[in-house]
Structure 1
Amino acid sequence: RYGLDIILANIYKETPFVIVMVYAVLLKTDNRLIQTASMLGASPVRIFFRIILPALMPIINTVFIIIFVYNFGSFEIPYVLGSSKPGLLSMRVYDYFFMKDLSLRPVAMAILMVIFVFSMSFVYIYSRVISKIDIRDRKL
């Protein structure tokens, strides 16, 4: 109901990708920083928020953008799970494009262009905001 099944299916589908990407960055993180912080008396929570999380933020932002763009126009999960209320644009595009009436194909392509422009605008704005936050944090 209300797309919760689609959200849960996307989380289930994308979790391994996120784990692999984050794990790759964790393997490259220098353990000496963590050991030094613990020897200097930092708690595990402080080590996580001051050392590990800042090292993970670039990959978390990148993975978020990849998953957002992929899932914004995602078609396969809503198609397999059935219709949801409210309806998704990707399902409407599929219906318009593969209906017997070929006159609705331009409508489907126009909706796809709107989806593309919106997602690229979101990625651009998100990247600008994150870069400004990152620069501000580096100055501290």
Structure 2
Amino acid sequence: MPQVTCPDQETLHQLLQGTLPGVTAKQLEEHLFDCDHCLQTVDTLVDEDPLFLALRGGPTVQGDEEIVARIIERARQLHSQAETVQSQETLLLGQEQEILSHSEADNDGDLADDEQIDFLHPPRRKRMKSAGWAGTAF
């Protein structure tokens, strides 16, 4: 079996990041099983690299608790508002579909009753009701 030379730190770092080709990575992994020196180098790289520290849950920075609480509360408010808007949009979509289904059922396609008129813009609704539908332009 040919003697394998130890890789440099950059190559070991690439191995840890998963950026080496599969065959090369496999060979280096096997080398780490037999080489205490390289294994120790890998441990040092892991201990010093900011990416690996972050992945392990490295030291955290303490924040102002009041600011954090306000941010969390604001996020909850925004979430609640988004749910309300979504509910209203769902309701309006359902009303629109109901109007369309009533309109399709009516052969001439005209709005036929006050319930359907109520969904229109208020000034138009008023003109339509007072004019008895005559002469109203959309």
**Is TM-score (shorter-chain normalized) higher than 0.5?**
no
Q: Given the two structures, how large is their TM-score scaled by the length of structure 1?
A: 0.28
TM-score by length of 2: 0.29
Kindly indicate which of the two structures has a greater share of residues assigned to helix: 1
Select the structure of larger CA radius of gyration.
2
Higher RCO, Cα 8 Å, sep 6+: 1
